[in-house]
Amino acid sequence: MSEKTIFQKIVDREIPAPLVYEDDLVAAFNDIAPQAPIHVLIVPKKVIPRVGEAEAEDQATLGALLLAAGKIAEKLGVKDRSKGFRLVINHGRDGGETVPHLHVHLLAGRDLTWPPG
């Protein structure tokens, strides 16, 4: 079995990180190097390396990631359209992926430019 990712160790509570949100399928915690005033990572408890490797059986987990994003945005006060947030999923080298455990970045709290870098 391959070594646990840093995110799996956080989900398994082997590495302490306050959870912003948790349900049966996903957990969320603050990014260690925030790129915005709010920068939360939402990860599935099941290890899926990256979004393009998710299977049909992961449909509920993929949905749970986005539903969690909405709940977290509401909890952090950025769900209203007058504020708002951005969700990012990096896949592979060109996508900027550095941790091989699927995660959704939730960024908010500043005017996020477009196109992204």
Please report, as ranges, the residues that interact with ligand AMP according to CB under 6 A: 6, 17, 31-33, 41, 90, 96-99
CB-wise, 78 or 102, nearer to ligand AMP? 102
Half-sphere exposure of 80 (CA within 13 A, CB side): 4
Least CB distance from residue 90 to ligand AMP, whole Å? 3
Strands lying side by side in the sheet with 104-108: 19-22, 26-30, 38-44, 104-108, 85-88
- Residue 20 has which token pair? 């912003």
Instruction: Specify the amino acid at residue 95.
Output: G
Active-site residue flag, 91: no
CB-wise, 28 or 78, nearer to ligand AMP? 28
CB-wise, 20 or 41, nearer to ligand AMP? 41
Give the residue numbers annotated as catalytic, written as ranges.
103
